[in-house]
Amino acid sequence: MLQGTVATVCSVEIIPNGANLTLPIKDGGQVNVGNIIENCNHAGGYTINASSATGSKLVNALNPNLMTGYRVSVEDGFNDVTLGFTPTPVRAVGALSAPSVNVSKGVLVTTIGNPNALAGDYQDTVTMTIATP
């Protein structure tokens, strides 16, 4: 019997749309924050997951009690996802007939808006990972 093996190789890279993105905190709204670049050779497909350090809240850097919510949407993925502290699916790709190589998908952030927001920088850290079934 002859046999061979191909190792699973999957990666996701985040390319931001510039270093100084400004999200609409007071009025709310949607901003294209960048792209994810997907690479995967797993025949069963893959899932892109995202998690938030603050549970989908943009938190004031000077006063952590001041915050506003946001949601994430991924092109050809799931829309208006509220991220938790643990990985949440934002895009699922079914069975592959060929490897996904440098597949680029846009990432949108929609802020809820807080008309009473106080001055300051509001931030969160989002982590994206790729998983196979």
pLDDT tens readout for residues 99-116: 999 999 999 999 999 999
Q: Say what the pLDDT of residue 22 is.
A: 86
Residue ranges covered by each domain of the chain: 10-131
CATH of 10-131, picked from 1.10.3470, 2.60.40, 3.40.50, 1.10.10, is: 2.60.40
Q: Given pLDDT bands bounded at 50, 70 and 90, which one contains residue 11?
A: very high
Instruction: Name the pTM for this structure.
Output: 0.91
Burial 41-69 (b: 16+ CB within 10 A, else e): bbeeebbbbbbbebebbbbbeeeeebbbb
pLDDT at 75 over 80: yes
Counting Cβ atoms within 10 Å, is residue 83 exposed (0-12), middle (13-18) or buried (19+)? buried
Supply the mean pLDDT for the chain: 95
pLDDT tens readout for residues 17-72: 986 678 999 999 999 999 999 999 999 999 999 999 999 999 999 999 999 999 99
